[in-house]
């Protein structure tokens, strides 16, 4: 198996990736985190990588000091992330949260490394740049996001038959069935209670607003070359059917499993092989029921805005993504209300300057403009 470079090793996906590495003695050449030096040090001592990278340079001195009795090289910043992503003949697992994962992903691809991608904001913000780089380098981009892993798995063995539809499932989050009036007063603590998945804070809020499904729709457009109207979003409350594809003849192939990210993570590492996995096996007879429904896009306006953004194209998906990142940060700091997140995302789509074919530099300016738009909207601009 390939040696791996794990970006974002201290997060929810990062820790579960290390569980899979532990179970199969997979060699880890580099680990990285944004700030949590204590856990990063612990992981470095257990997995003995050649490199660790701390993205926030303020913590470099502390980490360097902590690992001074080892031969592990300590790097910092986006430059450090790009350097380890380009180590030859490795698979890069990108478990960073947010658009911060885009540049390291491009670095990995350009160096000829396959990428196992959890970091959906990378594809949402820079889809065309990433897909173009993948084609040029001839590398594999393997999804970790459970729905996209499911679609990827359903397409194995399809040969030249293209899907006629992608059925992207959604849990509906903690507020499924609620009205806008009921959502007006929800707290951060309520939004952080996801019914099925235990995840990082940002994606948990995205699941509550349904922005996560909007981001995933855009992710599916780029990963599978689908047009937005070929993707149907179906609420599957139990998170057992992770997604499905429909073919021309009406056959629907779905992937089912317990709600445990270690399965899609491991498949991205072992693909195309399948081996024993630490995730709990599914027992169909223990399931009481599987239910299906439609998402309510009037109440959950983030989803509607994300759809409009991918239809608009250019830098619009990047703008809604970055506005969402900024709004979620403010919500987690108790500075704005739950429904303000949707207003921020819709507002950024209307107000951030449109660029039809953005370069990387223009995507970075779009990020800045979207963040400034959100801070100003809620009276927090510097």
Ramachandran class of 138: left when φ > 0, alpha when ψ lies in -120 to 50, beta otherwise: left
User: Which stretch of DSSP H or E encloses residue 290?
Assistant: none
What residues between 144 and 163 interact with Mg ion by CB under 5 A? 145-147
Min. distance of Cβ 334 from ligand NAD in angstroms? 18
Collapsing DSSP states into helix, strand and coil, what is residue 259?
coil
Does 166 bind ligand NAD (CB under 6 A)? Our answer is no
Does 14 bind ligand NAD (CB under 6 A)? Our answer is yes
Going by C-alpha positions, the residue among 93, 110, 78, 115 that lies closest to residue 30 is: 93
Q: How far apart are the first and last CA of the chain?
A: 49
Min. distance of Cβ 97 from Mg ion in angstroms? 13
User: Strands 3-7 and 28-33, how do they pair?
Assistant: parallel
Distance CA 178, CA 79 (A): 44
What residues between 256 and 295 interact with ligand NAD by CB under 6 A? 261
Please give the structure tokens belonging to residue 67.
């690992």
Q: Which is nearer to ligand NAD, 145 or 301 (CB)?
A: 145
The number of beta carbons lying within 10 Å of the beta carbon of residue 128 is 15
Min. distance of Cβ 201 from ligand NAD in angstroms? 6
State the binding partner of 55 from Mg ion, ligand NAD, none, CB within 5 to 8 A by kind: ligand NAD
Q: Which is nearer to ligand NAD, 146 or 299 (CB)?
A: 146
Min. distance of Cβ 331 from ligand NAD in angstroms? 15
Please give the structure tokens belonging to residue 256.
């089912």
Instruction: Confirm if 231 and 221 have CB atoms less than 8 A apart.
Output: yes
Does 95 bind ligand NAD (CB under 6 A)? Our answer is yes
Distance (Å) of CA 164 to CA 147, 156, 158, 242:
17, 15, 12, 18
Min. distance of Cβ 337 from Mg ion in angstroms? 25
Widest CA span of the chain, in angstroms?
Answer: 63
Encoded one letter per residue, x for contact with ligand NAD by CB under 6 A and - for no contact, window 124-163 reads ---------------------xx-----------------
Which residue in 4, 12, 263, 323 binds ligand NAD (CB under 6 A)?
Answer: 12
> Which window, 2-10, 153-161, 236-244, 336-344, contacts ligand NAD (CB under 6 A)?
2-10
Q: Where does this chain bind Mg ion (CB under 5 A)?
A: 145-147
Q: Where does this chain bind ligand NAD (CB under 6 A)?
A: 8-14, 33-36, 55, 95-98, 100, 118-121, 145-146, 197, 199-200, 202-203, 261
């Amino acid at each position: 198996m390939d040696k791996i470079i794990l970006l974002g090793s201290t997060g929810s996906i990062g820790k579960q990736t290390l569980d899979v590495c532990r179970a199969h003695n997979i060699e880890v050449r580099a680990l990285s985190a944004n700030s949590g030096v204590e856990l990063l040090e612990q992981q470095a001592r257990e997995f003995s990588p050649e490199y660790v990278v701390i993205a926030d340079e303020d913590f470099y001195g502390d980490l360097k000091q902590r690992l001074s009795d080892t031969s592990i090289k300590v790097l910092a910043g986006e430059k450090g992330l790009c350097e380890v992503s380009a180590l030859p003949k490795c698979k890069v697992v990108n478990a960073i949260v947010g658009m911060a994962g885009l540049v390291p992903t491009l670095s990995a691809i350009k160096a000829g490394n396959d990428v196992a991608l959890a970091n959906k904001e990378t594809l949402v913000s820079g889809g065309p740049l990433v897909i173009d780089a993948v084609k040029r380098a001839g590398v594999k981009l393997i999804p970790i996001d459970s729905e996209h892993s499911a679609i990827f798995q359903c397409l194995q063995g399809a040969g030249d038959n293209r899907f006629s539809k992608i059925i992207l499932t959604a849990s509906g989050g903690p507020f499924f069935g609620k009205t806008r009036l009921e959502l007006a007063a929800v707290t951060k603590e309520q939004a952080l209670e996801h019914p099925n998945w235990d995840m990082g804070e940002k994606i948990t809020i995205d699941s509550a607003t349904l922005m996560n499904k909007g981001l995933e729709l855009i992710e599916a457009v780029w990963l599978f070359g689908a047009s937005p109207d070929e993707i149907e979003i179906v609420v599957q409350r139990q998170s057992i059917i992770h997604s499905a594809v429909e073919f021309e003849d009406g056959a629907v192939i779905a992937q089912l499993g317990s709600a445990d990210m270690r399965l899609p993570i491991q498949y991205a590492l072992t693909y195309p092989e399948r081996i024993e996995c630490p995730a709990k096996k599914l027992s169909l007879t223990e399931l009481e029921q599987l239910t299906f429904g439609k998402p309510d896009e009037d109440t959950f306006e983030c989803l509607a805005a994300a759809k409009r953004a991918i239809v608009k194209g250019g830098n619009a998906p990047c703008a809604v993504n970055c506005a969402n990142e900024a709004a979620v940060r403010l919500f987690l700091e108790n500075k704005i209300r739950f429904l303000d997140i949707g207003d921020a995302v819709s507002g950024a789509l209307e107000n951030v300057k449109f660029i039809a074919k953005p370069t990387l530099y223009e995507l970075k300016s779009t990020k800045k403009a979207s963040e400034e738009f959100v801070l100003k909207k809620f009276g927090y601009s510097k």
